[in-house]
Amino acid sequence: MNAALKQCFRYACAAIETFAHGGVAIHSHNPSGGPVPVSSAMLWKWISLVALGSLFAGGLATPTLRAHDNSVDDHMFKINSFSQALTTRAALVRFVWGTDWSEICGRFPNVITEFYAPTADDALPSHLSNLDQIEKLVCTLSEPLQDGSTLVHSSTAFVFHPVNRNGRVVVVHHGHGCRFDGRDDNYNLGETVRELLSSGFSIVAMRMPLFQSPLQCGTTHEHDLLMQRQPKTGSPLIFFLEPVARVLNYLERARSEYHEFNMIGLSGGGWTTTIYAALDPRIVQSFPVAGSIPLYLRGHGYQDDAEQYYAPFYAIAGYKDMYLLGSLEAGRRQTQILNRHDDCCFGEQQHTVGPPPYTEAMNAYAQDVESTMFQIGAGGTFRLVIDQTAHTHQISRWAVETEILPDLMNYKYLNVFTIVPLLGGALIPTPSYRCAY
């Protein structure tokens, strides 16, 4: 009984922290008036409902909806305990790479160029304040395939090291696009890099496989073809995820001044952020923007990007499980941002599955994630934010200035000891997630 009380105290306080940090964890922004304030009475009512649903109903129920035409149903959670979450993560890692995470920690970029001078083909943002130098990291994967051939692909990352640095790294991951300089698009990735760099964050600009530069910019269907190339060991997802791991391994080992890793991604980069954060607990805060929703909420218009639907992978863990894994451990937080008026992906215009209406359906799955995290004793935080200011496929200025930057600036991650409000106020050590070299 005492242990149960301790858990209740711990997660009630975690819920209070969520509200204190920025209001209700699942909320929409109204450009005319901002988020609606939440009273203390509503706060405790919400906590009580979550607790009751978790204890007596097995989590908040979501409505039965017409599933996407896919062999995997991710309506129900596959993860039902904290220990199962860790086992599931290990299974996902082994599925992607065919080996354990300890071996992935030993992989690094193949070519490292300090004080790199960008070219026009790099399509990077210019006139950056607080920039010390740019470091270019090239990660080349050479994977023998089951058909006897070898698939070689190089991914390039650009690390923007600030003059005045705060020791924290943010990976900014592009989707199915190739420019970070803002030309020919409204994605706002260049402005995101600019804002974070000027605030003291070290930025890693990365792109998806086959979208490495404007001169080598693929199409979304090329990823469908890539996902058909089966390595002898692991899966084609290695080409999407390993470059991020190699870059973080390098920064962790060679740049001791960096003590925290975070990640932001748009569209396909938002998907990459979701999946990578689920696999690598070194990612403290993650902000996937317009990157995914659960499969059962997708209409038949979502047929591209085979990595989003790779059935053998999502049979291990569905999207709600991924959101949980990306914010599982104490001190970790995932803030998922969806653009309600998105003209591409995961917005109200694309919501052809229903009822219920878009906002209600999105909030229902987010509440499901929060409820399940409470049930299994997860120590992190998951939030869904519906951005109503963006009228295109982008990371909006509102999202950067109101959600992403304040969260990164104000969120304190204690990676040695976490004060957990147990009875008696004990200091609970937080395990280290860093690779051992």
Q: Can you give the pLDDT at residue 353?
A: 84
Q: Are 116 and 136 in contact (CB under 8 A)?
A: yes
Q: What is the DSSP letter of 231?
A: B
Q: Are 407 and 285 in contact (CB under 8 A)?
A: yes
**Residue tagged 């090329």 (tokens):** 222
In DSSP notation, 125-157 reads --S-TTEEEEEEEEEEEEEEBTTS-EEEEEEEE
How confident is the model over 200-222, as pLDDT tens digits? 999 999 999 999 999 888 777 88
> How wide is the angle at C-alpha 257 spanned by C-alphas 255 and 259, nearest 5°?
100
> How wide is the angle at C-alpha 404 spanned by C-alphas 320 and 19, nearest 5°?
70
Half-sphere exposure of 400 (CA within 13 A, CB side): 22
Tokens of 277: 């954060």
Strand partners, 152: 142
Crossing angle between the packed helical segments 238-254 and 268-279, to the nearest 10 degrees: 60
How confident is the model over 20-43, as pLDDT tens digits? 333 333 444 444 444 433 333 333
Q: What's the rounded mean pLDDT across residues 268-292?
A: 98
Please tell me the distance from the alpha carbon of residue 429 to that of residue 419, in angstroms, as a whole number: 8
Q: When comparing pLDDT for 86 and 35, which is higher?
A: 86
Q: Can you give the pLDDT at residue 299?
A: 82
In DSSP notation, 308-341 reads GS-HHHHTTS-HHHHHHHTT-STT-EEEEEEETT
What H or E segment, with its residue span, contains residue 172? strand 168-173
CATH, domain 2-429, list 3.30.70.20, 3.40.50.1820, 2.130.10.10, 3.90.1170.50: 3.40.50.1820
Please tell me the distance from the alpha carbon of residue 437 to that of residue 421, in angstroms, as a whole number: 34
Residue of 121, 113, 241 lying closest to 178 (CA atoms): 121
Cβ-in-10-Å burial (0-12, 13-18, 19+) of 413 comes to: middle
Q: What's the rounded mean pLDDT across residues 308-312?
A: 93
Q: Are 77 and 306 in contact (CB under 8 A)?
A: no
Pairing mode of beta strands 111-113, 131-144: antiparallel
Residue of 323, 312, 310 lying closest to 223 (CA atoms): 310
Please tell me the distance from the alpha carbon of residue 388 to that of residue 398, in angstroms, as a whole number: 9
Q: Is the pLDDT of residue 281 over 80?
A: yes
Tokens of 73: 């149903």
Model confidence at 412, in pLDDT bands (50, 70, 90)?
low
Q: What's the rounded mean pLDDT across residues 408-425?
A: 53
Please tell me the distance from the alpha carbon of residue 407 to that of residue 403, in angstroms, as a whole number: 6
Residue of 197, 179, 198 lying closest to 189 (CA atoms): 179
CA dihedral 96, 102, 107, 108 (to 10 degrees): 120
Tokens of 384: 């869904």
Tell me which amino acid residue 379 is. G
Q: What's the rounded mean pLDDT across residues 296-324?
A: 91
Model confidence at 390, in pLDDT bands (50, 70, 90)?
very high
Crossing angle between the packed helical segments 2-22 and 40-56, to the nearest 10 degrees: 140
**Residue tagged 């920039």 (tokens):** 131
What H or E segment, with its residue span, contains residue 189? helix 189-198
Q: What is the DSSP letter of 431?
A: P
Is the preceding omega at residue 355 within 30 degrees of 0, hence cis? yes
Q: When comparing pLDDT for 158 and 298, which is higher?
A: 158
Please tell me the distance from the alpha carbon of residue 351 to that of residue 345, in angstroms, as a whole number: 9
- For the ranges 19-28, 71-80, 217-226, 333-342, the maximum mean pLDDT occurs at 333-342
Q: Can you give the pLDDT at residue 148?
A: 96
Considering the chain, what percentage of its residues have pLDDT values greater than 70?
78
Crossing angle between the packed helical segments 238-254 and 82-97, to the nearest 10 degrees: 110
What is the domain partition of the chain in residue ranges?
2-429
For residue 58, CA distances in Å to 253, 256, 328, 373 come to: 43, 44, 18, 12
